[in-house]
Amino acid sequence: MPDVAGIAAEQLSLFVDKIERLEEEKKELQETIKDVYNEAKGEGFDVKILRKLISLRKMRPNDRQEQDELLDLYKAALGMI
């Protein structure tokens, strides 16, 4: 493909094709993850709590500790603990 208005059409096409393939793979992975959550739900696990655990495990320990401390502080201020 020739350049069009200064754009390398072949290179652009390759990037678009690669992104489309990756988006399809991402969609398939998301469906697989959904299936795993449904399987866990079928075994009696709370999916909302599992999602929260996954979120917490992604955090750095210091960030997680800070979040826990703030949550406890706010709960205490509201008389929840």
pLDDT digits (tens, 9 = 90+) for 18-62: 999 999 999 999 999 999 999 999 999 999 999 999 999 999 999
54 and 78 assigned to the same domain: yes
> For 1-81, where are the alpha helices, taking DSSP H only?
9-42, 47-58, 61-77
Q: Which domain holds residue 75?
A: 47-81
Could you tell me if 33 and 40 are in contact, meaning their C-beta atoms sit under 8 angstroms apart? no
Number of domains making up the chain: 2
54 and 74 assigned to the same domain: yes
70 and 51 assigned to the same domain: yes
- C-alpha to C-alpha distance for 14 and 75, rounded to whole angstroms: 53
Instruction: Judge whether residue 4 has pLDDT over 80.
Output: no
- Each residue's pLDDT tens digit, 57-79: 999 999 999 999 999 999 999 99
Entry pTM: 0.73
